[in-house]
Structure 1
Amino acid sequence: MEGLKVSDADLVLRVPPSKSSRASQAILRELSSHLFQFSEIFDGVLLAYDVDIVDQNAKIIQVIQPSSGVRLKAKLLLFSPKPNMSLEGRVVKLTPESIHVIVLGFASAVIIDEDIREEFEFRTKHGKEVFRSKAHSRHVIKVGTVIRFLVKSLDKEILHICGSLKPTNTGSIHWLDNNVIEISLTDRSGMKRESENEMERHEHAVLGGEKISVCNDQIKKSKKRRLREES
């Protein structure tokens, strides 16, 4: 899935003087407070981190309120969705006008009717709402389905995504993956038929304006007969 990235960062975290003796705990607590929140500094949502403290000795930073600065290297896992990126999420609610999705278990996304391609038709079957493809009856989106969609926009404050199912490579991931296999098998069978047709064309000859079939054994015997006659 797009939107996930691992970044290496050189950081200096401020630690209050009262906590300078336990800088490691203070650093982890500070980073943990930024989890699952959008950070302008990192340009994404912090999902996880791995920290290596470069300098154990905190240095005083001259600011209005004195604090100690600790240098560290961190490897950060960030979620940074951008327009036109492909995301995946699980459907949690369906209405005739919208599809509601949860991405990575914490970010919400909605796809409204104008962003759902006309191929999909809302239906109620056995008391359950579904979006079913009119072109492919097995392509169904229902509550619990994991779908692939494109990002239209992102509200960073509330981590809300507006998505789109307009492209043909979006929809139920289960169906899309199986459909790729079906297309591949169809292509191979088509190539096989073309190869067989080519062989049939080579195994036909024209005699007196009429097309007659000539098997490979007959061709081989004819060649041997000509060689004996020439010798």
Structure 2
Amino acid sequence: MEGLKVSKANLVVYIHPSKSRQVSNAVLRELSSMLFAYNEIFDGIVLAYDVNSFDKCARILPGIYPYFGVKLKVNMLLFSPKPDMLLEGKVVKLTHESIHVVVLGFASAVITEKDIRKEFVYRTKHGQDVYASKSHKRHVIKVGTMIRFSVKSFDEEILHIYGSLVPDNTGSIHWLDKNLEVVSLSDRSTKKRENEGQPLMSEKDAIDGEPSSFDTVQKLKHSKKQKVRQES
């Protein structure tokens, strides 16, 4: 899935003097407070972190409360969805106007009716609401389906994603992984058959008086026959 990246960061965590005997716990507590929230510095949502090292020689900051700063080297896993990226999520609700999805278990996404390609039709099947494809009867989206969709925009404050199912490479992940390559090969085969069925001489050639490949072959054959007769 796109939108995930690992960022290496050099940080300074400020610790209250009362925590000076438990520096490691205090540092981890500060880092944990950053989880599952959008961070402007990293331009993404912090999902996880891994502390590589921290400087034991902390620098004391002057002030009423003399906090001290601990330098860290941290690897951070970030989630930063951008327009046109492909994300994956689980469908949790379907209506005639929209599909509601949860991404990575915490971020919500919505795909409205105008952003669902015309191939999908909302209907009730076996007592369950679904979006079913008119082109491929086994391509069905329902509650519980894992889908792949394109990002239109992302609201950083409420961690809400606006998505789209317009691109052909979006829809049920299970169906796409099994059939997308087959459909692509079928399309290429159809185009090949169409190209093979084209006339040997185009209308433009006929108008311009240019010989077609068929005419050229016939002339070559006729020339060879004459040469054989002359030699004999």
Instruction: Tell me which interval the TM-score lies in, with the shorter structure as reference length.
Output: 0.7 to 0.9
Counterparts in 2 of 1:6 and 1:134: CA distance versus 1, 3 Å: same
Instruction: Give, in whole Å, the separation in 2 of the partners of 1:52 and 1:176.
Output: 39
Instruction: Give, in whole Å, the separation in 2 of the partners of 1:187 and 1:130.
Output: 27
Note the 1:184-203 alignment, pairs <5 A: 186=186
Note the 1:1-231 alignment, pairs <5 A: 1-62=1-62, 65-183=65-183, 186=186
Q: Deviations over 1:10-55 (max 9, x none)?
A: 0011001111221111010111111111111211111111003331
Q: Gaps (5+ residues) in structure 2?
A: 194-232
Q: SS at 1:121's partner residue?
A: strand
Identity of aligned residues (%): 66
Q: Which has the higher strand share?
A: 1
Kindly provide the amino acid, as one letter, of the partner of residue 10 in structure 1: N
Q: SS at 1:2's partner residue?
A: coil
Kindly provide the amino acid, as one letter, of the partner of residue 103 in structure 1: V
Deviation, 1:66, is 2.4
Kindly provide the amino acid, as one letter, of the partner of residue 16 in structure 2: P
TM-score, with normalisation over the residues of structure 2? Answer: 0.78
CA RMSD of aligned residues (A): 2.2
Kindly provide the amino acid, as one letter, of the partner of residue 163 in structure 2: G
Deviation, 1:189, is 7.8
Kindly provide the amino acid, as one letter, of the partner of residue 98 in structure 1: S
Q: Deviations over 1:160-212 (max 9, x none)?
A: 1110111111111111111134236648988xx9xxxxxxxxxxxxxxxxxxx
Kindly provide the amino acid, as one letter, of the partner of residue 55 in structure 1: D
Q: Which moved more, 1:45-54 or 1:22-31?
A: 45-54
Kindly provide the amino acid, as one letter, of the partner of residue 92 in structure 1: V
Match of 1:222 in 2: none
Kindly provide the amino acid, as one letter, of the partner of residue 9 in structure 2: A
Kindly provide the amino acid, as one letter, of the partner of residue 129 in structure 2: E
Deviation, 1:153, is 1.1
Match of 1:216 in 2: none
Kindly provide the amino acid, as one letter, of the partner of residue 153 in structure 1: S
Instruction: Give, in whole Å, the separation in 2 of the partners of 1:7 and 1:19.
Output: 28
Instruction: Give, in whole Å, the separation in 2 of the partners of 1:68 and 1:152.
Output: 43
Instruction: Give, in whole Å, the separation in 2 of the partners of 1:26 and 1:81.
Output: 31
Kindly provide the amino acid, as one letter, of the partner of residue 161 in structure 1: I
| 1:84/1:151 contact within 8 Å kept | yes
Kindly provide the amino acid, as one letter, of the partner of residue 120 in structure 1: F
Q: SS at 1:24's partner residue?
A: helix
| 1:20/1:58 contact within 8 Å kept | no
Instruction: Give, in whole Å, the separation in 2 of the partners of 1:185 and 1:75.
Output: 41
TM-score, with normalisation over the residues of structure 1? Answer: 0.78
Counterparts in 2 of 1:166 and 1:183: CA distance versus 1, 3 Å: closer
Counterparts in 2 of 1:111 and 1:188: CA distance versus 1, 3 Å: closer
Deviation, 1:156, is 1.1
Match of 1:229 in 2: none
Instruction: Give, in whole Å, the separation in 2 of the partners of 1:6 and 1:108.
Output: 22
